[in-house]
Amino acid sequence: MSRDSAAIATLLDAAHDSDLVGPTAVSDALMQLGATEHDAAEIAERVHRSQREISRLRRREHELSALFSSARELAELRDSDAVLARLVQRAHTMMGVDLAYLSEFDPDTRELRVRETSGSVSASFQTLRVPPGRGLASVVVESRMPHWVSDYSAYATERHDSGIDDAVSSEGLVSLLGVPMVTSDDVIGVLFVANREARDFTPDQVALLTAVADHASIILQTTHTLHELRESEDESRRNLENLTAHLVERDRANTVHQELVQAVLAGGGFGPVAETLASALGRAVAIIDSQEQMIAAAGLPLAPGMLALQEPVRAAIDESRRSGYCVTVPGTGVRAVSALSAGNRHFGALLLGDGDFELGAVDLRTVERAAQVGALLELQQEAASGADLRIRSELVADLLDDVPERRSDVERRARRLGVDLQALDSLILLSVPGDQQTTALRELSRQLDDRSLVGEYRGFVVAAHSADRGAVDVERLRKRVAAATQHPVSAVYPRPASGALPEAFQTAMRTARLITALELTDVTAQVDDFLPYSAILDTDVRALSAFLRDTIGAVRQYDQERGADLLGTLRAFVRHNSSPTRTARALNFHTNTILQRLDRLDHVLGASWRDDERMFRIGIAVRLDELRDRLQLR
């Protein structure tokens, strides 16, 4: 190869490799070819410009290749966090810096939180949060323009923050460049590059980082959009599920309502109501009356909490009575209750057990409708029962009045009710407050069979029944009526008297009035126990109290003042025919002791208390007072 050819080869190599050959080397090579120094210098300068352009184009090719790669990743976006991490890594590589990081903007707190880093060595920097108005990041957000500093320590003092300064110091950062990540009118973050030595950033570098930031903006915007879409999808799915469940509840409620209407029209009572609810709601249902007695049940077996009510269940029933709504009861075996009420009247409650699904709002409303149906049934039964009770009360009045002219009509009406008047031989009289007599009549009717007559007569609740159909526990009946009325009730009953019910009623009424005059309540008394007294004593409370006070009141006062039992001695003396010896034997005392006590009675009652007339009166008072005490102790 000639010397000229070698020089040309050197020149061509220099034109393609600016890192190895500078303008001087090109100029020397041209002068070796015979070019003048001026021409060589001019050509060398042109070659140098060509070299710079080739270098810029190569760098641009590399940058565009990276941006195209990012664009492909955006198009194939699957994992936004991974794509963001690669973008930050590319910014780190393309910009030739020590560190690159991306801070996401929180519109609620207006903070910037570092989300991705590349080249970071400090854990505190990777979790950095930039408060509003602080740091270079806040300037980028506020201006929505790129900003850079060659020395962050010399940056504006009002922008510094101790937390930011410590994080920057831990990384040893000096120069920083930040460009905004903008979507529509919102800033969603800032992309940063930084060096650990002072450096200026060129417009090309700012433009390149801005392009990368645009890609990052698309990723964050897409992430937010996908998140919103997922939330919207989840919300739509929940709404669809709720709507489906609501439609199922509504259809179930419609079915229940139709069946409840049929149950009312058919007059089947509470049983069909319980069965309809149990079938529709898939759980045990019980209906109780106001006395907590079971009147209907379905969906067996019943939970133990339905058979014996616990306090939380009673409290829930009270709450349901006040509010009119179905009330849930956790942890008792009874899932929900709804009171059977009409106005201020309470008839009982519906009890629901646990089931395979939770009761929804529509289900609870359905239970409330069923409770209203139950209340209507009770009112319907009351209306029918009230009509029957009026007929029976009129029959009882006519039967006990014993008017001969009406006898045939009484028997005819009794036969229509299926009652045999000839079989009725026993009476029960109940003293009940006037406003509770209807309740007492209904309760007493439930306790006796249909062949008995129950009615109101001359201020008393009266039951006429047959002793041949089985003994009646009058005390149990009295307690049931007292519980139903929630008031004290006294009961009086004479011995069976076939064909003489009017006379039996008269003696029983006198006894009942005597008990009232004695101020006895909540007692059950047999007429025979009071017969001697009811026949001769006034049944006025004040008159009877005055009689007892005038006859034995002084003895009671003596005992109360001294803690003695002189009244007990007087009672024994009366029972044993005024014999001191027999009285002493009955009380297990010496006769002299009894004589001493009789002397005290002479002092308390006066010396003439054993005279025939006074002794008769004292005897009646003592026996009546003793009988009253015995009844009160039952």
The string of DSSP codes covering 232-294 is HHHHHHHHHHHHHHHHHHHHHHHHHHHHHHHHHHHT-THHHHHHHHHHHHTS-EEEEETTS-E
**Could you say which DSSP state residue 152 is in?**
G
**pLDDT score for 407:** 62
**Mean pLDDT along residues 617-629:** 81
Higher pLDDT, 73 or 483: 483
DSSP, collapsed to helix, strand or coil, labels residue 52 as helix
**Per CATH, the architecture of 267-384 is what?**
2-Layer Sandwich (3.30)
The pLDDT of residue 472 is above 80:
yes
Share in percent of the chain as helix, strand, coil (round to 5): 60, 15, 25
Q: pLDDT by residue (tens digit) across 130-156?
A: 998 888 988 898 888 999 999 998 888
Query: Order of strands, edge to edge, in the sheet holding 426-431?
Result: 453-457, 460-465, 426-431, 490-493, 524-526
**pLDDT score for 176:** 93
Mean pLDDT of the chain: 80
Q: Are 129 and 138 in contact (CB under 8 A)?
A: no
Number of residues that make up the chain: 634
* Range with top average pLDDT, 215-219, 362-366, 520-524: 520-524
The pLDDT of residue 22 is above 70:
no
Of the listed ranges 29-38, 130-139, 149-158, 330-339, the least confidently predicted one is 29-38
Domain with CATH 3.30.70.270 in the chain: 418-531
**Mean pLDDT along residues 612-617:** 78
Domain with CATH 3.30.450.40 in the chain: 77-229, 267-384
pLDDT > 70 in the chain, percent: 81
**pLDDT score for 178:** 92
Which alpha helices (H) appear in 123-269, and where do they start and end?
A: 123-126, 135-143, 162-171, 203-266
The pLDDT of residue 3 is above 60:
no
Of the listed ranges 340-344, 460-464, 531-535, 615-619, the least confidently predicted one is 531-535
* Bridging pattern class, strands 147-149 and 175-183: antiparallel
Using pLDDT thresholds of 50, 70 and 90, give the confidence band for residue 1.
Answer: very low
The residues near 420 (Cβ < 8 Å, ≥ 6 apart) are 414, 451, 466
**Mean pLDDT along residues 173-197:** 88
Of the listed ranges 158-162, 310-314, 544-548, the least confidently predicted one is 544-548
pTM: 0.42
As a CATH number, domain 541-633 is 1.10.10.2840
pLDDT > 90 in the chain, percent: 8
**Mean pLDDT along residues 6-33:** 56
Q: What phi-psi label fits residue 571: left (phi over 0), alpha (psi between -120 and 50 degrees) or beta?
A: alpha
**Mean pLDDT along residues 323-350:** 86
Q: pLDDT by residue (tens digit) across 260-290?
A: 766 666 666 788 888 888 887 788 888 888 8
Q: Are 488 and 455 in contact (CB under 8 A)?
A: no
**pLDDT score for 20:** 42
Domain with CATH 1.10.10.2840 in the chain: 541-633
**Mean pLDDT along residues 362-376:** 81
Q: Does domain 77-229 have CATH number 1.20.200.10?
A: no
Distance CA 280, CA 300 (A): 14
The pLDDT of residue 470 is above 70:
yes
Element (H, E) at 569: helix 566-575
Q: pLDDT by residue (tens digit) across 505-543?
A: 888 888 888 888 778 888 898 887 776 676 566 566 676
Using pLDDT thresholds of 50, 70 and 90, give the confidence band for residue 18.
Answer: very low
E strands of 299-425, at which residues?
327-328, 336-342, 345-352
Residue of 357, 356, 311 lying closest to 337 (CA atoms):
311
As a CATH number, domain 418-531 is 3.30.70.270
